């Protein structure tokens, strides 16, 4: 009887089934090819009972060990070969064997894995060289050597695994955020001609959302908001993945990575010293990300300091304590209207593609107004904003302070600063504002000093919107005339009226009706809006956008001049000006912030008061006409029409 060790199953010792055509007994499998197993997945058919072994003088256990330790002959005939012995693995019947999924197998394949690593390296390099101005988004901007790459490589190479993951994650988040901020800069430069202010500009997203909703509908606003949030999160997540993958590569090749980083730094210093350039004006040695991050940090610090300084600036006011009878005394008995023409900038007057159309409207308007007995003087003001944020221009002109960001605007409207409006109110004018673009309450009206505000909710307009504009300018002026200006027995008025038909996106544009009675309740504009150019039609081409912008300015100027001729009386004093230049899609890059301003009056004494200003005669300022900062207008105006110098 054979004694079987407790860790060897009987089937491991049984002879395998012999080939019926062979009279030879197969050699037992060697221990290298056959190991004891606790369980066999698929049992073989039970072999015939082997004959009892001959008695041996050695113990049975030794016999078994000897049998297990025998090795197979080097070669056997094909018909006599032993069947393949499969290694058996113990499996719990309740367990499931997990195999890699298709996606994981695909991603772990050598070519794909190498490709993803190359992609990660390219993403990190691209993020380090990513510009913040759209016109610099060229291949030449990426054909450079960023010094930040060498620094990041050296840091990741020397760190142990856990710190490396932590530092890599933080670096990925920072790179992702800097790409987001640079992308915001591109949009801000394109529309507002300045970079995004990380401290002060967050409030503008609310106005941006409102503009998109009013121009493209609620669904478009939701889609834009979702795109911004998801796109930002995806950018950060992608950069974290890329940096960590590059960090893993560096850790697996530490020595070569350290040498590569040293080489990159050396080449960077050499090209910097020699001023090497592949693209004219773009040095190969780049420090884009470090410089940008430093500039943005400094900008944030300066913004906070500027906010603190503005609190003191607001308190300095030469006209604060001027007695009411000395304020605006030269305008007693006059109706004074300040009108802001949306996006009416210097380019609308002087740029070759607009000068002919705008010039014709202004020349014809000059002739009409002179025939009606009106005179005009025109000059230039430099606006604090560009391409948008009209309220910053309004507050700058009326307050006499430079309001070029939302923080200053917020602090101004929380103060008791004397504005042009409140000066008229103090001097016993009836002050009001007509705000056709306002769709909700406007609490700032109390700060400015308006007795009442007319807006899109109470002007009774029954026609369609013209993109962002709630109503056409001709309807606004007609309704103002009916509600206030033509009302008998009224007090003298001071009025602010923004005209908004020339607001981006400049499609569709209303038609001007020579017979103002046709305007009615605005329903006549339904057909005009349906037949006009639509946003989707013109924004496929910058040339079309510029053409429609020019037409919108011509429409508003035609409407305003015709209103003065038709409804203006002897006591009318009208000041109209642009709030800012249109966006750079119209003006191109590096355009000025200048806007035209014109004062119209029938009383010659009113015009005589500003002879010292050097303004041009008529509705069109000349290239040599003086240019003032917009915030200087309040003091000049109050001085010219007040009791004396301050």
- Computed over every residue of the chain, the mean pLDDT equals 84
Most confident of 62-66, 206-210, 406-410: 406-410
pLDDT tens for 532-590 read 888 888 888 889 999 999 999 999 999 999 999 999 999 999 999 999 999 999 998 88
Q: What is the domain partition of the chain in residue ranges? A: 1-95, 102-302, 329-640
Instruction: For residue 108, count CB atoms less than 10 angstroms from its CB and return exposed for 0-12, middle for 13-18, buried for 19 or more.
Output: exposed
Q: Which DSSP string corresponds to 99-151?
A: ---HHHHHHTSHHHHHHHHHHHHHHHHHHHH--SSGGG-SHHHHSSEEHHHHH
Q: Please, which pLDDT band fits residue 220 given cuts at 50, 70 and 90?
A: confident
Q: What's the confidence (pLDDT) of residue 330?
A: 96
pLDDT tens for 318-361 read 999 999 999 999 999 999 999 999 999 999 999 999 999 999 99
What mean pLDDT comes out for the span 509-517?
96
Class of domain 329-640: alpha beta
Q: Which region among 14-18, 94-98, 314-318 has the lowest average model confidence (pLDDT)? A: 14-18
Distance CA 401, CA 161 (A): 56
What mean pLDDT comes out for the span 168-179?
94
- Look at the block and give the residue holding tokens 């330790």: 69
Q: What's the confidence (pLDDT) of residue 643?
A: 62
Q: What percent of the chain has pLDDT over 90?
A: 60
Q: Where are the beta strands (DSSP E) in 187-331?
A: 277-279, 282-283, 285-286
Classify 46 in phi/psi space as left (phi over 0), alpha (psi -120 to 50) or beta.
Answer: beta
pLDDT at 88 over 90: no
Phi, psi of 218 (to 5 degrees): -65, -40
pLDDT at 189 over 60: yes
Q: Is the separation of the CB atoms in 388 and 397 below 8 Å?
A: no
pLDDT at 203 over 90: no
Dihedral over Cα of 616, 621, 625, 627: its sign? positive
pLDDT tens for 132-142 read 888 888 888 89
Pairwise pLDDT comparison (103 vs 560), residue with the higher score: 560
Please tell me whether the peptide bond between 298 and the residue prior to it is cis, using omega within 30 degrees of 0.
Answer: no
Distance CA 441, CA 201 (A): 22
pLDDT tens for 357-403 read 999 999 999 999 999 999 999 999 999 999 989 999 999 999 999 99
Q: What's the confidence (pLDDT) of residue 60?
A: 39
Helix H or strand E encompassing 573? strand 572-578
User: What would the two tokens of residue 139 be?
Assistant: 């291949």
Q: Is the separation of the CB atoms in 379 and 626 below 8 Å?
A: yes
CA-to-CA dists, residue 503 to 130, 468, 535, 564, angstroms: 32, 7, 12, 22
Phi, psi of 156 (to 5 degrees): -70, -30
Distance CA 268, CA 147 (A): 7
- Global pTM? 0.72
Q: Which region among 84-93, 283-292, 417-426, 629-638 has the lowest average model confidence (pLDDT)? A: 84-93
pLDDT at 85 over 60: no
Q: What's the confidence (pLDDT) of residue 215?
A: 67
Q: What's the confidence (pLDDT) of residue 194?
A: 83
């Amino acid at each position: 009887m054979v004694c079987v060790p407790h860790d060897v199953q009987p089937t491991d010792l049984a002879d395998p089934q012999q080939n019926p055509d062979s009279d030879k007994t197969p050699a037992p499998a060697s221990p290298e090819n056959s190991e004891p197993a606790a369980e066999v997945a698929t049992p073989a058919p039970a072999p015939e009972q082997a004959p009892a072994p001959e008695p041996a003088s050695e113990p049975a256990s030794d016999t078994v060990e000897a049998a297990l330790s025998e090795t197979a002959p080097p070669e056997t005939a094909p018909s006599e070969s032993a069947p393949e012995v499969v290694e058996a693995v113990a499996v719990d019947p309740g367990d499931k064997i997990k195999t890699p999924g298709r996606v994981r197998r695909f991603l772990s394949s050598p070519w794909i894995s190498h490709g993803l690593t190359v992609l990660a390296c390219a993403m990190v390099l691209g993020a380090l060289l990513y510009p913040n101005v759209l016109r610099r988004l060229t291949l030449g901007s990426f054909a450079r050597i960023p010094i930040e790459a060498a620094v990041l490589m050296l840091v990741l190479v020397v760190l142990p695994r856990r710190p490396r993951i932590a530092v890599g994650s933080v670096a990925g988040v920072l790179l992702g955020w800097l790409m987001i901020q640079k992308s915001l800069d591109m949009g801000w430069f394109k529309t507002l001609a300045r970079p995004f202010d990380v401290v002060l500009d967050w409030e503008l997203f609310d106005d941006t959302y409102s503009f998109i909703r009013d121009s493209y509908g609620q669904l478009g606003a939701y889609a834009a908001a979702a795109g911004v949030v998801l796109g930002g999160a995806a950018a950060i997540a992608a950069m974290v993945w890329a940096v960590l993958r590059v960090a893993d590569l560096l850790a697996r090749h530490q020595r070569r990575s350290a040498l590569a980083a040293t080489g990159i730094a050396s080449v960077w210093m050499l090209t910097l010293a020699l001023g090497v350039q592949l693209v004219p004006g773009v040095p190969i040695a780049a420090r884009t990300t470090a410089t940008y991050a430093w500039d943005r940090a400094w900008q944030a610090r300066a913004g906070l300091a500027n906010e603190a300084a503005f609190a003191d600036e607001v308190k300095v006011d030469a006209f604060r304590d001027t007695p009411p009878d000395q304020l605006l005394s030269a305008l007693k008995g006059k109706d004074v209207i300040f009108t802001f023409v949306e996006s009416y900038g210097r380019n609308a007057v002087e740029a070759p593609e607009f000068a002919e159309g705008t010039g014709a409207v202004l020349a014809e308007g000059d002739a009409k107004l002179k025939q009606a007995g009106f005179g005009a003087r025109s000059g230039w003001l430099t606006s604090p904003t560009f391409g948008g944020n009209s309220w910053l221009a309004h507050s700058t002109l009326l307050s006499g302070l430079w309001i070029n960001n939302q923080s200053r605007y917020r602090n101004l409207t929380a103060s008791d600063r004397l504005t042009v409006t409140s000066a008229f109110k103090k001097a016993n004018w009836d002050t009001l504002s007509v705000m056709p673009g306002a769709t909700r309450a406007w609490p700032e009206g109390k700060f400015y000093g308006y007795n009442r505000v007319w807006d899109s909710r109470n002007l009774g307009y029954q026609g369609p919107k013209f993109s962002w504009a709630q109503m056409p300018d001709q309807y606004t002026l007609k309704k103002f005339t009916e509600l206030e200006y033509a009302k008998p027995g009224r007090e003298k008025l001071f009025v602010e009226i923004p005209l908004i038909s020339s607001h981006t996106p400049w499609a569709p544009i209303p038609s001007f009706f020579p017979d103002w009675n046709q305007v009615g309740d605005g329903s006549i504009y339904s057909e005009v809006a349906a037949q006009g150019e639509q946003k989707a039609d013109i924004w496929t081409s910058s040339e079309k956008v510029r053409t429609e912008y020019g037409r919108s300015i011509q429409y508003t100027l035609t409407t305003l001049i015709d209103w003065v001729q038709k409804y203006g009386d002897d006591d009318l004093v009208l000041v109209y000006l642009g709030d800012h230049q249109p966006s750079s899609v119209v003006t191109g890059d590096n355009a000025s912030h200048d806007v035209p301003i014109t004062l119209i009056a029938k009383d010659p004494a009113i015009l005589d008061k500003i002879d010292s200003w050097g303004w041009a005669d008529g509705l069109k300022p000349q290239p040599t006409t003086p240019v003032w900062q917009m915030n200087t207008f309040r003091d000049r105006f109050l001085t010219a029409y007040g009791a004396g110098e301050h």
